[in-house]
């Protein structure tokens, strides 16, 4: 049995923990993280945040929001997963996989059948999770998707990303 549990995040206190986890995982200054007021506004209006916790400690989170993609019949609804973060002490324990599967289940309950997200094509751990374990399909290569980034992981590197569909 897991030491951690998953649950939907909806409160200011939980979103403060999401802010703290973003700072830790990406060595990010405040300007580079999604702030709690935006997280709250989005989850209260169709977005979704799911946390993995041990006691009161946030050790993982996934966050996304509704969007659209083009079809010959016009725009169609999708969910865009913007954040998947796992505390460094908890990597390789199945938390990222569990968070993405829970996200998929909740998005399906919203009546949405497509999730997209981006990831750094140079990070093999992310490729393994996204392609091999989750079965997403890489559909697009995005050059400089986020422009110049200033967090501890990406500063000085191009922000090229793979976009995947699931």
The CA R_g of the chain, rounded to the nearest whole Å, is: 15
Read out DSSP for 26-95?
Answer: HT--GGGS--HHHHHHHHTTT-EEEEEEETTEEEEEEEEEEEEE--TTS-EEEEEEEEEEE-GGGTTSSH
Q: How confident is the model at residue 34 (pLDDT cuts 50, 70, 90)?
A: very high
Looking at residue 154, its pLDDT comes to 64
What is the tally of structural domains in the chain? 1
- CATH code of residue 131: 3.40.630.30
Q: Which structural domain, as residue segments, surrounds residue 21?
A: 5-165
Residue keyed to tokens 């999604």: 34
Instruction: Report which of residues 120 and 45 the model is more confident about.
Output: 45
Res 150 pLDDT > 70? no
Looking at residue 152, its pLDDT comes to 61
42 neighbors 98 (Cβ within 8 angstroms)? no
- Is the overall model pTM greater than 0.75, yes or no? yes
Q: How far apart are CA 44 and CA 119, in angstroms?
A: 26
Q: Express each pLDDT in 54-110 by its tens digit.
A: 999 999 999 999 999 999 999 999 999 999 999 999 999 999 999 999 999 999 999
């Amino acid at each position: 049995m897991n030491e951690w549990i998953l649950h939907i995040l909806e409160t200011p206190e939980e979103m403060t923990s999401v802010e703290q986890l973003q700072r830790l995982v990406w060595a990010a200054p405040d300007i580079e993280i999604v702030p709690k007021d935006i997280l709250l506004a989005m989850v209260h209006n169709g977005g979704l945040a799911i946390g993995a916790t041990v006691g009161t400690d946030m050790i993982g989170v996934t966050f996304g929001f509704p969007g659209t993609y083009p079809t010959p019949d016009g725009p169609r609804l999708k969910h865009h997963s913007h954040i998947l973060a796992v505390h460094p002490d908890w990597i390789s324990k199945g938390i990222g996989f569990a968070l993405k599967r829970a996200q998929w289940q909740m998005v399906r309950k919203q009546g949405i059948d497509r999730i997209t997200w981006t990831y750094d094509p140079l990070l093999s751990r992310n490729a393994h999770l996204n392609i091999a374990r989750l079965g997403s399909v890489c559909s697009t290569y995005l050059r400089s998707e986020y422009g110049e980034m200033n967090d501890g992981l990406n500063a000085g590197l191009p922000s090229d990303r793979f976009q995947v569909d699931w």
